[in-house]
Each structure stands twice: as structure tokens, then as C-alpha cells.
Amino acid sequence: MSAAVQSFLDMLAAERGAAANTVSAYRRDLDGAEEVVGELAKVDRAQIEKLAGAWSALAPSTVARKASALRQFFGFALDEGWREDDPSGALPKPRTRRPLPKVLGHDAVETLMSRAELEASTGKPAAVRQLALIEMLYGSGLRATELVGLPLSAVPRDAPMITVMGKGGQARMVPVSERAQMALSRWIEIRPSDPASKFLFPSRGGKHLSRVRLFQLLKELAARANLDPTGISPHVLRHAFATHLLEGGADLRVLQTLLGHADIATTQIYTHVDAARLVELVNSRHPLATRERSD
């Protein structure tokens, strides 16, 4: 990796507050590009055009992500005076459609929850923790990283809200359902006491439960509940939280705040799943809908 790319990554972390996972993703994309064309601070347009062939077998969304990383790097290089031109115009421009979120139906959520509650009734710590994790994913719409990284201090004793540190180090208050509060209370009572760990869901060495392990736990639970494990993940439960709230009449701006989206355009993707309800709402609630039609 070139020194210029390392400086760019340092800027992402220090000035933009990019999360470690985000910085790692940029690192992989920029490293991969330099393996093909050489040092990015010195390449010309002809070299950049080679990336189209190197990326030809990749999905359009992946190409778009890689191209975005390079465009941001070249903009940074211009600002730093490392380059006098911006060759990003030679980058591939795939046509992409934003993928619609996977939708988990109410019945599937109920089946998953019922299985988790059944296993938690044994009182085994792992099962009680599992229930608390699922209740927070579906009941509060947390991202996997936000959930596993919750400090114990984020859970108040009485207030039905929890402080979450989202992307870019942005904190937000998220409501916690009564079900989730009960599950969290049960977990905190039997949570392993480890002075070295400050996390709500601790792991060995003072660390917290990993995202990978959270994925595994959900898929294993789905299999035991006779659900397709490939259709269950922390992000799918987050999507279900958003979709089902929207179905219940939640305002899009409120949903944006709950999910921690910087741009409401990101939140609007959920409106596709509720088109039928919106049509029914217009037909039943619009002022002209109640007027009798005349000949």
C-alpha cells in the first residue's frame, strides 16, 4: 500500500470519523486497484481505464463501490497537491439499481421469537443473551456493530431509551420496547461479571461479542426454528423493524431518526414494501374519498 493511500485512510478515520470496518473496506478497494494499475497518486487516465477489464467479472454494485473509493481518493490527492488532474472520469460507470431489502414476514419473526423465548425459558445464559440480542435487533432496529458494541452503561435503569453510537461516531437515542427491556433485565442479572469488560455483551479478553458470532447465532437459531437460515441475519431483522413500523403508520422522518440514516433517501427504500397500504390510506383518508360521487 502506498503512503498516499495510507494518508487518505488516516484522514477518513481522523477527520470524517469513519468506522474501522469502513476504513478496512476502503483499504481493500484501494489496495486492489494499486495491484492492477500501480501507485494511485501517479497513475494516468490510460492506466485507470485498465480497471474496467480487471473488474469485468464483478457485480455492478461492487464496481460502483470500488469506483467511489477511487473518486474520493483522487479528490483528496488534488486537495493535498499530489496530483494536478483528476483521472476518475476514466473509471467504469456501471448502471446499478439499489437492491431492495429482504423482507421478513410477521409470521417468520413470530416463529423466530417464539423459539428464542422457548430456549431462554431454560435460564441458560447463552439462551437468555440470545433473546436479548434478537429483541434489540427487531425491537430497536440496531445495526449489528451497534448492538455488539453497546457498553453496559448505555442501558439506563428506568428510562425506556438507550444511547447508541452509530456510523461516523454519531450518537442517537433509540427507544427500547417493554419486551426488550425485560429481556435485557434478565440478561444483566446473569451477565458474567468481568471487571475488564465494559460491554453489555462481553467476550473473552475484555472484548465484546463479535459481529461474526452474532450472525452465526441467528442462523443457528433460524435452523432450529425450521426457518431458512440464508434468509435470516441481523440486517434482515433491522429491515423487518423498519418495514413493520412503516406498515403500522410510522412517519418516514421518525424512521430515519430511529435507524440513524444521515440521508432520508436511504430510508425511502422501505416504502416499496408498503405500497398497498399507502394506496388504501389515500383511498380511505383523503378528504375527497368520503364525498359521495354524483352523476
Residues annotated as catalytic are: 143, 167, 235, 238, 261, 270
The DSSP annotation for 53-115 comes to HHTTTS-HHHHHHHHHHHHHHHHHHHHHTS-SS-GGGGS------PPPPP---HHHHHHHHHH
Exposed, middle or buried: residue 209 (CB in 10 Å: 0-12, 13-18, 19+)? buried
Say how many CA atoms lie within 13 Å of 12 toward its Cβ: 21
d(CA 272, CA 24): 32
Contacts for 278 with CB less than 8 Å, ≥ 6 apart: 271
Contacts for 258 with CB less than 8 Å, ≥ 6 apart: 140, 141, 174, 175, 242, 245
Exposed, middle or buried: residue 11 (CB in 10 Å: 0-12, 13-18, 19+)? middle
d(CA 52, CA 58): 10
**Angle ∠(151,165,156) on CA atoms, nearest 5:** 45
CA-CA-CA-CA torsion sign (248, 128, 220, 238): positive
